Structures are given as structure tokens and as C-alpha cells.
């Protein structure tokens, strides 16, 4: 049992290190190729930060542990709103931008509902996956269009910081190309190894404790792969940039459903557990819906709202662990 938990812990660490190397190398390569920092932020960095979740979901589905794969996606969305946004709001009230209410939040709500519809027949098949990937391309395109028009976007502002230190790169050298190409390769290898360790350990834990893989996916795996988002939100609050926290959570949920579920299902059809259809998916949508009145009230997610979100998340986790 301890070995299995160790596998998961080491796997998550390797995943995050691999994802970091992949993003670092890919960002510089894109800039060497004269791609603008805004485009790099919205594509390379945004997708790169979702790579740990994607690697875990693909590995789990390939192993036949589809409950872990689907639970990872849905559980991450629930964890993002209930726990991460809850903790962030308790630390300090989160201001809500008008654009978030008019554009980003409706997209998250629509994508959450779409995922429920696609999974309702018991499987997210390749056609469903391709539909989600097309939606991802449209979402990125919409953000890029708004950024070009000078509309400030939380996602673009946050992601653009990750490429500023490399933004001076405009002229490539053989050493720069080879060094960062090696980082990309190492990052991909790290993602593969980390995902394999994390999923293998999770399966062992489920079998040893006699719990379902769905429960492991919703809890250990989902929370583990979402820790970078939690760190990002806490750092945003420390820098007195609380509005970035909300954009991070909303954007992460959109990417989870469109990119992670979409790409995974395009490669391997993902069967969906009946309990996930009956409980988990609707819980995800409920957390998304409850944000609306919280955001409208004074255009601020207050500390009390954070407490309520944390209470709701704790109640759901207790239900999952006790009922299964």
C-alpha cells in the first residue's frame, strides 16, 4: 500500500517536472520560430499546463481504467471550483470582471452541459472527442481575436507572464534549438513515465482498499493533477491579482473538458460509469451554476461564498468516499 501511494506521489512529481520542461522548451522554440508571445501564451503554455491531466487520462484509458480517466477530468473541474476557488475566496474576496460574466463563464457553463450530454449515452466516443477538440480550437480562436482587439483577458494576461522572460528571443541559434528541443523530449518522457506511475499506483490503491477506480479518479488523481492550479491561485492572491485566480479556474475547467476529455476520447473512446452520469456530472454542473449568483452579487466572490464552496466540496468528497 505504501509503495502504491509512493508511486502516485512520485508519478505526480515527475508529471509536473515533465510538464514544466515541455512548456519551457516549447515556449522558446515557438519564439525562435517568431511566433508572437500572445499566441504562444494562448496555445503552447495553455496546452502545456494541461499536459499532466492529459497524460494521466490517456494512460488510464489505454490501460482500460476509464473510470480514472473520466473521474480525473470531472473531479478536477469540481476541485477547481469547490476547493481552489473556495480557498482563494477565503484568503481574500475575488473581484469579477464583466467580461468573465459575459464570455468566459457562459463558455464554461455551456461546455459543462455539453460534456453531460455527450456522456449521457454511457460513452464519450471519437466523434464526441473531435467535437470537443473543435470547440477548443474555437475557444482559443475567440480569445486570440479578443486579445488582438485589445480586450484584456485573464487567461492571456496570466499565461503571457510565463513567456515574458523568453520574449527577447527572436533569433535562433543551433544551440538554442537543440537545447530546447531536448527539453521538449525530456518533458514528454517525463509525462509518459509520470502518468504511468500515477495511474499504476492509483489502480493498486483502488484494488487494495476495495474502492472503485472512479473514487480514486475523483479524489487522489483529480486533486493531485490540479495542485498547480491551486498554487497559481494562491500566488495570484499573494501578488494582489485576485482576478487572475477566477480566470485561472474558469479557463482550467474549459481546457479540462475540451482538451483533456476531447483529445483522450479522440484517441480512445471513454466509457462512462453510470454513477458518474447520475451524480458526478451533475455535481460538476451544480458547482458551475452556483457561481453565477455569487459573481453577480457585487461582482465579487466574497469570503462567505468561499466557505460555502469549500463546504459543498467537502460534502461531495465525503459522499464519494462513504458511498462510492
- Interval 53-93: pLDDT, tens: 888 899 899 989 999 999 999 999 999 999 999 999 999 88
Query: Would you say 250 and 104 are in contact if contact means Cβ atoms under 8 Å apart?
Result: yes
Q: Which tens digits make up the pLDDT trace of 33-50?
A: 666 555 565 556 556 667
Alpha helices (runs of H) in 80-173, residue ranges in sequence order: 86-91, 98-99, 105-119, 126-148, 154-164
Place of cell 499532466: 52
- Which grid cell sits at 39? 499566441
Non-local CB neighbours of 190 within 8 Å, separated by 6+ positions = 14, 15, 17, 18, 19, 21, 22
Q: Which residue has the cell 480557498?
A: 87
Cell 543551433, residue located: 174
The segments of the chain whose pLDDT lies below 50 read 162
pLDDT digit string (tens) for 218-237? 998 888 888 877 877 777 77
pLDDT, mean over the chain: 84
Q: Do 29 and 163 form a contact (C-beta atoms < 8 A)? A: no
Q: Are strands 123-124 and 270-271 parallel, antiparallel or unpaired?
A: antiparallel
Tell me what pLDDT residue 87 has: 92
CATH topology of domain 2-323: A middle domain of Talin 1 (1.20.1420)
Per-domain residue ranges for the chain? 2-323
Amino acid at each position: 500500500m505504501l509503495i502504491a501511494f509512493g508511486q502516485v506521489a512520485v508519478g505526480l512529481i515527475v508529471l509536473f517536472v515533465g510538464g514544466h520542461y515541455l512548456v519551457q522548451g516549447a515556449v522558446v522554440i515557438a519564439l525562435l520560430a517568431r511566433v508572437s508571445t500572445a499566441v504562444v501564451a494562448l496555445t503552447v503554455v495553455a496546452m502545456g499546463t494541461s499536459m499532466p491531466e492529459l497524460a494521466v487520462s490517456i494512460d488510464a484509458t489505454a490501460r482500460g481504467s476509464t473510470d480514472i480517466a473520466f473521474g480525473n477530468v470531472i473531479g478536477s473541474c469540481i476541485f477547481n471550483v469547490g476547493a481552489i476557488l473556495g480557498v482563494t475566496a477565503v484568503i481574500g474576496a475575488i473581484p469579477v470582471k464583466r467580461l468573465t460574466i459575459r464570455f468566459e463563464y457562459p463558455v464554461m457553463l455551456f461546455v459543462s452541459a455539453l460534456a453531460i450530454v455527450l456522456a449521457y449515452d454511457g460513452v464519450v466516443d471519437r466523434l464526441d472527442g473531435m467535437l470537443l477538440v473543435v470547440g477548443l480550437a474555437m475557444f482559443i480562436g475567440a480569445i486570440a481575436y479578443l486579445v488582438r482587439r485589445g480586450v484584456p483577458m485573464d487567461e492571456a494576461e496570466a499565461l503571457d507572464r510565463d513567456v515574458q522572460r523568453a520574449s527577447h528571443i527572436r533569433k535562433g541559434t543551433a544551440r538554442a534549438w537543440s537545447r530546447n528541443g531536448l527539453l521538449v523530449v525530456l518533458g514528454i518522457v517525463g509525462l509518459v513515465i509520470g502518468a504511468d506511475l500515477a495511474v499504476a499506483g492509483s489502480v493498486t490503491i483502488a484494488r487494495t482498499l476495495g474502492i472503485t477506480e472512479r473514487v480514486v479518479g475523483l479524489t487522489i488523481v483529480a486533486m493531485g493533477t490540479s495542485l498547480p492550479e491551486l498554487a497559481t491561485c494562491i500566488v495570484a492572491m499573494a501578488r494582489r491579482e485576485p482576478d487572475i485566480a477566477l480566470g485561472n479556474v474558469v479557463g482550467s475547467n474549459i481546457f479540462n473538458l475540451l482538451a483533456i476529455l476531447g483529445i483522450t476520447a479522440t484517441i480512445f473512446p471513454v466509457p462512462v460509469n453510470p454513477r458518474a452520469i447520475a451524480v458526478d456530472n451533475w455535481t460538476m454542473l451544480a458547482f458551475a451554476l452556483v457561481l453565477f449568483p455569487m459573481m453577480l452579487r457585487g461582482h465579487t466572490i466574497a469570503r462567505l461564498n468561499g466557505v460555502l464552496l469549500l463546504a459543498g466540496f467537502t460534502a461531495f468528497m465525503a459522499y464519494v468516499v462513504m458511498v462510492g
